[in-house]
Structure 1
Amino acid sequence: MDVDVSYELLDLALTHRSYAYEHGGLPHNERLEFLGDSILGQAVTVMLYRDFPHLDEGQLAKRRASLVSTIALAEVARSIGLGERIKLGKGEDQTGGRDKASILADTMEAVIGATYLSAGPDAATALVLRLVTPLLENPERFGAAMDPKTSLQEAAAAIGAPAPVYEIASSGPDHNRRFVATVTVGTAVTATGSGTSKKHAEMAAALEAWSRISAGTP
């Protein structure tokens, strides 16, 4: 990330609560996540207002919602290999936690919060802009992140494939249920995604399938 963050704060930002609980109740990253969420929203809001003077309030709000969404943040986290560095509990790790959109997005926010505390507001804002700018520079990817299910349906139609079909599986107790969606687009592609709701899981799966179709990868 090329940001000077203290080891202690970065380690805390990368510590998921599942790891903390398994190791005797260590501090975890949720407070930093809370801070980072606020910084992320402010930085993106100012950037959109400054750089897109032709957009009205509704259009600005829609773009902001997309850029700070779980799906967008998870994509940013994957692009820098963040999942490999997260400290997870054994159970969470074994169930694919390193690639879960919600965990990736939350950890990304915690890293932003740690950057703010360690290097200051300017460094935190610069980090946010450096991470989200690639989404804005790739209009197709940006559109897919905003509405991945519609984008996937359009991509399927463009290659003459049938409409996407989704299947949902869930696991865990009622208070902490996880959903995994599998989307199949004929014989063209099959992809999976996970989330804390059926909607989020389907969106994550759709974005992965859209990415594979766009790249020509089955």
Structure 2
Amino acid sequence: MFGSLDAGAGKIYGAFGMKYAVGGDGLDASGFRLSLVSGASTEPARRRPTQGSLYKSDVGALLGYEWRVHDSFVAVSVGPDLETSYLTWRDWRGIGQRIGPRIQLDIWAAPDKNSLIQVNAYAVAAGSGRSGARIAAGWTIVRQLYFGPEIELYRERDYFKVRLGMHLTGMEAFGITWRLSAGAQKSRDDKSEVYATLGFHWKR
């Protein structure tokens, strides 16, 4: 189980998902994976000047394969993604739905006992044609707690966003592993703003 809550530049985004091992070897061994992913966001319908509201949600079911070596893994998955949007602007209301293929890449690598590399990237062909990626590196502060830089890229139609910040990954609380990120972001429509992300994953 995994998820995140993200805030920055007038937009709030939440994501939640679950990953299952297909077969009897479990998540600690290489094998096929079934992932269910979902997300929802709210932001202004128009940014300059700020007007209206735009609500979006997406759900997807992905099937892929995960290669594991100890605690490191590389996973590639594909599947359908359904995007729903609801827009309110002045007296106008609109709703739209689009479905299309999604491809996703996830990497969690520990080159040695004191370092961590994370890569998450995805692309959706239908709807807004959105794509995004996050690349992060970390070094051990204390056991299993990593601190380091991250960069995020996001693109949707003619809109883009770039983030540069720092992350703290591996905090343990309530049996859940947490990640806290913060930094600065720049998009096509906004001046530089602060962003913050709280993420988690829980393994049964």
Task: Name the TM-score class by shorter chain.
Answer: under 0.3
Length-normalised TM-score, structure 1: 0.24
